Amino acid sequence: MQLRQANDKKSLFSLYAQLVDAPQLVSSTDLSAARSWIRVAEEFQHPSTLLAYETSLRLLIHHLAALPLLPQHLIILKERSASLAVDAFSACLRRGARVRAVELLEQGRSVFWSQLSRLRFPLDDVMASGPAGGLLADEFILVASLIRIALGAPGADQHGRLCHLNLEMQRTIINIRELPGFSRFLLPSLFSELQHAASGGPVIIVNASQYSCDVLVVLLDRDPVHIPLQITQESVRDLSVELSASTERSKKSEVTRELGSVLRNLWDEVVSPIVDFLLTTLPLQSRIWWCPTAEFSVLPLHAAGPYRKGQQNLSNLYISSYTPTLSALIRARRPAPSNTAGGEKRFITIGQANAIGQAELLSVGTELANIGQRIGGLASFTQIEGPESCISRVAEELGKTEWVHFACHGLPNRTRPFESAFALHDGHFTIERIMRCEPENPQFAYLSACHTTVGDEESPDEVIHLASAMQFAGFRSVIGTMWAVDDAETDKITSTFYKHMVDESGFLDHTRAAFALHKTMRSVNVPLDQRLLYIHLGA
């Protein structure tokens, strides 16, 4: 009996292994079989476990490449890839494969944005490779532009057109890979490339999986450092529920008490072991980047601390930023296009205090006026407010500006994330609309609105929210919010922030944003929940 079971198991894994050679055109059945392989391999701790994860991720990407981007991608990602990347990360670490863990997590998270960013990939090197490269680059640019046009078409016209264009794009990419020196064009990044995300400071991946919770610190000059956590995914989920409940309390004393409990638990269970390591290798007041996954993505890791007299919180030690992926951080540090260098910066403020169906925001006018007073002489300044803040005007101005400040209602949609929006005079300026904006040299965006880093509740690792949409549009540095903003406190916070954004020479520098936010939250006199809800994303 045991021999027959062993033979049956061997035959089963031999069948699974055939998925490794699956063709480019991947079916839903292939995806289901690959997930089955993972489940069985994990159950038996089979040597093929990592191969199962690698194959499943590769098949998923191939399957998505042949589908229209919206909304089919998100449906597939919800149904087929839930927990895939975070479980692959855990599987790698349980087998000591730290470098591979980073590569697979990067490949399997934020898949939608990664696929969409291919349409804006810089092609200078391809063009310079010779006549064949020039023709293929032109073809790539043409198809990418047609895809962007099709994304804005009505639903009935969109599906078939996008399917055809996506196949055309795949053929063009395959042809580019046949050029000398371009064999890895738009393939998943290797760790040697991803490691450059740590050029400004360590990137701290905090992962929650059903199998384990782990931290991996990515450093520029050495292999990643693994810090196993004792906390379980269920306990992380409980913390996120506790956080949500605490920030919705009406009494500030209750908010502060319950929020303090969450922050202390985060410190004890997650952040304190990380700080113990950082203190051995990183000077105090250095910058660090958090890259949280799954349930960790809604928790304020930057604000963790013992919150006890005489003890230091994380914010006393280091300056925190966030990034959805390592690739996003690398993109945020790309130099500005040469044709946009120099000259006066363009800065627009967009305010809407009386959006239809929303409560009036009493501080918007004061907030914008104070920004104009502080920044007006340092940039080409435009203020759009009230009836002028309509969708078409904002979209037009966003395409021309380098710095933007939104002061309005933020409307997250946790089940249809592409409908998350800023509430403007004539309607909702949605993520889907933001995706079509292509600013020439976007640098900084401040989102003074509620819930701008709140994404889809069923697929948090896709990181689809208003702040990430601004990042996709090209803004290298973004200030977002983790929960509801108190209108009575916003002017005090933004005024202090912009005071710190201007350097000693009176120059506006988007790379000061993390520092400016850090200084603001250490000094401004507002309730605890309002001090902690703002986060910095990007460079």
Check whether 3 has a pLDDT greater than 60.
Answer: no
- pLDDT at residue 88 tops 80: yes
Other CB atoms within a 10 A radius of the CB of residue 124 amount to 8
pTM to 2 decimals? 0.91
Q: Which of 41, 54, 38 is nearest to 10 (CA)?
A: 41
pLDDT given for residue 92 in this prediction: 98
Measured between alpha carbons, how far is 472 from 69 in angstroms, rounded to an integer? Answer: 15
pLDDT tens column, 325-359: 999 999 999 887 655 555 678 999 999 999 999 99
Confidence tier at 143 by pLDDT (50, 70, 90): confident
Identify which has the larger pLDDT, 160 or 275: 275
Residue recorded with tokens 């009505």: 154
Q: What DSSP string runs through 178-226?
A: TSTT-TTTTSPPPHHHHGGGGGGS-EEEEEE-SS-EEEEEE-SSS--EE
Radius of gyration of the chain (CA): 24
For 427-484, write each residue's pLDDT tens digit: 999 999 998 888 989 999 999 999 999 987 778 888 899 999 999 999 999 999 999 9
Q: How far apart are CA 207 and CA 167, in angstroms?
A: 34
**Amino acid, res. 34:** A
Structure tokens at 402: 């380098």
Measured distance CA(360)–CA(1) in Å, rounded: 73
Judged against a pLDDT cut of 90, whether residue 252 lies above it is answered with no
Q: Is 211 a residue whose pLDDT tops 80? A: yes
Lowest-confidence range among 99-103, 187-191, 480-484?
Answer: 187-191
Residues whose CB is less than 8 angstroms from the CB of residue 112 and which lie 6 or more positions away in sequence, other chains included: 69, 73, 74, 77, 462, 464
Q: Span 167-173, mean pLDDT?
A: 86
Mean pLDDT lowest for which of 31-35, 145-149, 485-489, 495-499?
A: 145-149
Tens of pLDDT, residue by residue over 368-419, are: 999 999 888 888 999 999 999 999 999 999 999 999 999 999 999 988 888 9
| pLDDT(496) > 70 | yes
Spatial separation of the C-alpha atoms in residues 201 and 203, rounded to whole Å:
7
The confidence band for 112, taking pLDDT boundaries of 50, 70 and 90, is confident
- Using CA atoms, how far apart are residues 133 and 176, in angstroms rounded to an integer? 7
Q: First and final CA of the chain: distance in angstroms?
A: 60
Beta bridge partners of 508: 502
Distance from C-alpha of 527 to C-alpha of 258, rounded to nearest angstrom: 13
What pairing do the DSSP bridges indicate for beta strands 319-322 and 287-292? parallel
User: Which residues are CB-contacts of 50 (< 8 A; sequence separation ≥ 6)?
Assistant: 88, 91, 92, 95, 97, 100
Residue 162 confidence (pLDDT) above 80: no
What average pLDDT does this structure show over 136-148?
A: 86
For residue 117, the model assigns a pLDDT of 80
Distances from the Cα of 404 to the Cα of 389, 449, 480, angstroms:
13, 13, 13
Mean pLDDT for the stretch of residues 199-221:
98
Query: Confidence class of residue 5 from pLDDT cuts 50, 70 and 90?
Result: very low
What is the pLDDT, as a whole number, of residue 381?
92
Residue 6, pLDDT above cutoff 60: no
Backbone angles phi, psi at 414, to 5 degrees: -80, -10
- pLDDT score, position 510: 93
Q: What are the φ and ψ backbone dihedral angles of 421, each rounded to 5 degrees?
A: -155, 160
- Among 2-16, 190-204, 272-286, the minimum mean pLDDT is found in 2-16
Side chain identity at residue 20, one-letter code: V
